[in-house]
Amino acid sequence: MEHIELFFKSIFIDNMVFATFLGMCSYLAVSKKVSTAVGLGAAVIFVLAITVPLNWLLDQYILQPGALSWLGDDYAGYDLSFLSFIMFIATIATMVQLVEIIVEKFSPSLYNSLGIFLPLIAVNCAILGGSLFMQSREIETLGLALNYGIGSGIGWFLAILAIAAIREKIRYSNVPPALRGLGITFIITGLMAIGFMSFGGMLTGGDEETKPEDNSTAIEIIKEDIKQEEAKYKSNLEIAENTNK
């Protein structure tokens, strides 16, 4: 059950593109045609499915505070977490190189159509973001990490597929000249993101908020409001009654 929940959560609720805006550069640049979008999407799923579990192992046994305790008690006190950026990105760069070699070997036509964007998967924020979120959300087991990697990959794939399909059709519509191309793509993505926000309460029944950063600002605003209302309540009962309405 935990696996299914995490899987759907990473596809729909925490969708890489619509909830956290990761991998937007290649999302915008490669989404002009459905066929190339599918190729890149598949590559992203593949790379995420490999790198997230690998980085989970690295995080668990090398980087976390106290993770080195398997080397003996002398090492139990080490905290190498400041190295995580470098370790993660090294894993990712290596894996991308591997994927590049495999794609070039088995599908030269896909290799040519992806062009510069295949090596740029290494700098696709979605890939590094997957590992960093895996770390910050403290995913517990290797199986869940694999699940999370595949799930967020599929989420990214769905997003780029959808926008590519829309962009193929939008050529026939009468968009204001200055908005053509990039501008309208941004606005459509924004509207799609609003749509995806409605998945928020799907699995948790609305218990958990989807976006920690927005959530925290919202809570701060509410807290401030409460403080101000309390202050007023103490000083003037009449005003407090009005504001509580």
Partner 1 sequence: MGKDSKLILDPLTDNNPITIQVLGICSALAITAELEASIVMSISVLFVLGVGNVVISLMRNIIPSKIRIIVQLIVVATLVIIVDLVLKAFAYELSKTLSVFVGLIITNCIIMGRFEAFALGNGPWRSFLDGIGNALGYGVILIIVGFFRELLGSGTLLGFPVLGDPIEKTGLYSIGYENNGFMLLSPMALIVVGIIIWVQRSRNKALIED
CA-to-CA separations, 165 to 13, 38, 120, 193, in angstroms, rounded: 21, 11, 23, 16
Site string for partner 1, 105-144 (x = CB under 8 A): --------------xx-xxxx-xxx--xx--x--------
Instruction: State which of positions 137-166 bind partner 1 (CB under 8 A).
Output: none
Which residues does 30 contact at the CB level (< 8 Å), separation at least 6? 36, 37, 40, 114, 117, 160
Note the maximum CA span of the chain: 77
Find the binder of partner 1 among 77, 79, 212, 236 (CB under 8 A).
212
Total residues interacting with partner 1, rule: CB under 8 A: 63
Cα-Cα end-to-end distance for the chain: 43
Measure the CA–CA gap between 154 and 174, rounded to whole angstroms: 32
Nearer to partner 1, 1 or 245 (CB): 245
* Residue 1 C-beta: closest distance to partner 1, Å: 27
Nearer to partner 1 by C-beta: 71 or 226?
226
User: Measured from the CB atom, is 70 or 133 closer to partner 1?
Assistant: 133
Task: Tell which residue, 26, 20, 56, 21, has the closest CA to residue 44.
Answer: 26
**Dihedrals φ, ψ of 131, to 5°?**
-65, -40
Stretch of 51-59, 104-112, 157-165, 222-230 contacting partner 1, by CB under 8 A? 222-230
* Strand, coil or helix: 55: helix
Residues interacting with partner 1, by CB under 8 A? 18-25, 28-29, 82-86, 89-90, 93-94, 97, 119-120, 122-125, 127-129, 132-133, 136, 176-187, 189-191, 193-194, 197, 211-214, 216-218, 221, 225, 228-229, 232, 243
